[in-house]
Structure 1
Amino acid sequence: MFHALRGALLVASILAPHRIVSLLPSLTEDICALGLQARLVAVSAYSRDIPCAKGLPRVGDYQSVDNERIVALHADLVIGLPSQAQLVAPLRALGIRVLLLPDESYDDIYLDIARIGAAAGVAQRAARLTETLKAQVAALHARTRSFRTHPRVFVTLSVEPIWTVGPQSYIARMIELAGGRLAVTKLAQPYAMFSPERLLALRPDAIVATRDSEIGTVLAKAPWRDLRAVRLHRIFTPPNDDILVHPSPRFIEGLRWLIQRLQPIANRSAHSS
């Protein structure tokens, strides 16, 4: 039995891909968290701030993929989004393995880790990583049990026009785990445009804005200047947008950061809020 198992693992190791291309930053972070950075040969254009991706060729983004370069790099596994299916169809036609993974929901974080782990021959490592992440989430979420209230949070991805996140997004789940509530309760898509009038009517307790949104440029304008969260200086910008917008193992950093920002608001008395 032992020799058979060892043989199976050896075969799996030989067949496992050794030249991986990632077409999305969050998937790049999954690959690195699984200890597979040595197998990465190329990444997406938006992976420049990911430490394990530094110096690697950039071969695509959400709208284009350099298939010729991927072929020249002798890639044996390309990982991307379902929306990139047409872009990588030529690679599939050449027999290169393509793995397309959704990354919009909180559950997708764990599912993507498992699927990448299985494809790369490190399924057990993926299972251990998932267990570790879930334990960290549980420990962080436990801190919110003492919250007196659950602040209503509006997330700003862009200010002109206003883009935000809806209940279907993974960021909405992050806010819940951090002890808050997403102020937007209805949105057709996980990420969509939002009118100034609707924002004013929401009256959120706090605003979480990405650095890319450059929210500081509009705070003196309507509707922002009329929001209570703005008047009370409850505008929070992460040190790095990746910990907020990438559904990858780095979301633990974002969750910790969110809890630290929401805790003072959640425990503020009704008279001082």
Structure 2
Amino acid sequence: MRKPLLCFCLSALLLLTGLARQALVRAFTPPAPPAAPERIVSLAPSVTESLYALGLGPKVAGVTQFCRYPPEAAAKPHVGGFGDVNLEAVVRIRPDLAVLPVDKTTIKALLEQLGIPVLLLDTRSLPGLLRAIADLGAATGQEAKAEAILGRFDEALKTARAKAAGKRRPRVLFAVMHSYQDLGAIMEIHIIGRDGFYNELIEAAGGENVYKGQLAFPRLSFPVWSCLSSTGATPMTPSASCAGSWVP
């Protein structure tokens, strides 16, 4: 009588152990994004621009307060900034995919605990940005559009490098964002540092970044900006297509 009882207990123990293992796997396995996400939250301006470039604007359900291009992106529900993501706002949107920079590992873990699928993209370098567009296209069912964008970008890059070859390298001061005082006067200018794909684009186009420090997006007071601009540096803002949403 003891042997059947012992076998039963061992079988029950093995079953419970297997169930517990499955529960642990489910608990620690990040949720997979759907084949074609319908409600996407973007947690970086570069991600937002890429989503719109892929024709996914209607599926963008939430953005950061810094996602200002294209102009219609600014009207989307805001879910905070870069380091202060409002998780409650994200949950209210009920996204089936959140896309964020690769260094936001803490936010990634929190979103996955909430059952939200996450895609990390590394847009800190030019090669990383190109891979990110391909990865984003694959995650959203827009592989063909992503491939077309990358093809056009590659041709534009080759053309820019060919035109710049052998020519004098202009010194460039590239502004990406302005901060204003209450009366509308410019208070600070955020410029491109040495780290990141913007700097690589300046160099690919034949320019030389005026800023030589290590900060990614240093801030300058407007008087300093004016002084640098008067020393022979070529002031630049993002391309004309998006200048209206970044500069006055």
User: Which structure has the greater CA radius of gyration?
Assistant: 2
TM-score range with shorter-chain normalisation?
0.5 to 0.7
Preserved CA contact (<8 Å) 1:169 1:190:
no
C-alpha separation in 2, matches of 1:32 and 1:46:
15
1:235 is displaced (CA, Å) by: 4.3
In the alignment of these two chains, the number of paired residues is 202
1:35 is displaced (CA, Å) by: 0.6
Residues 70/231 of structure 1: CA separation in 2 closer, same or farther (3 Å cut): closer
1:39 is displaced (CA, Å) by: 0.8
**RMSD between superposed Cα atoms in Å:** 3.4
- Which of 178, 181, 186 is 2:208 aligned to? 181
Residues 160/58 of structure 1: CA separation in 2 closer, same or farther (3 Å cut): closer
Residue 63 of structure 2 corresponds to 43
Residue 216 of structure 2 corresponds to 191
1:91 is displaced (CA, Å) by: 2.0
Residues 161/130 of structure 1: CA separation in 2 closer, same or farther (3 Å cut): closer
C-alpha separation in 2, matches of 1:161 and 1:135:
32
Residue 170 of structure 2 corresponds to 151
C-alpha separation in 2, matches of 1:41 and 1:161:
29
Task: Please list, as runs of the form range in 1=range in 2, the aligned pairs for 1:1-273 lying within 5 A after superposition.
Answer: 15-145=35-165, 147=167, 149-153=168-172, 165-166=193-194, 168-182=195-209, 187=213, 189=214, 191=216, 213=220, 215=222, 217-218=223-224, 224=227, 230-232=230-232, 234-238=233-237, 242-243=238-239
- Identify unmatched segments of 5+ residues in structure 2: 1-33, 179-186, 244-248
- Identify unmatched segments of 5+ residues in structure 1: 1-13, 194-211, 245-249, 255-273
Greater Cα shift, 138-147 or 154-163: 154-163
C-alpha separation in 2, matches of 1:20 and 1:162:
28
Q: Name the TM-score, length of structure 2 as normaliser.
A: 0.68
Deviations 1:207-264 (A, max 9, x none): xxxxx8453x2368xxx4xx7x7245x44142xxx449xxxxx8xx89xxxxxxxxxx
1:67 is displaced (CA, Å) by: 1.7
Greater Cα shift, 121-130 or 168-177: 168-177
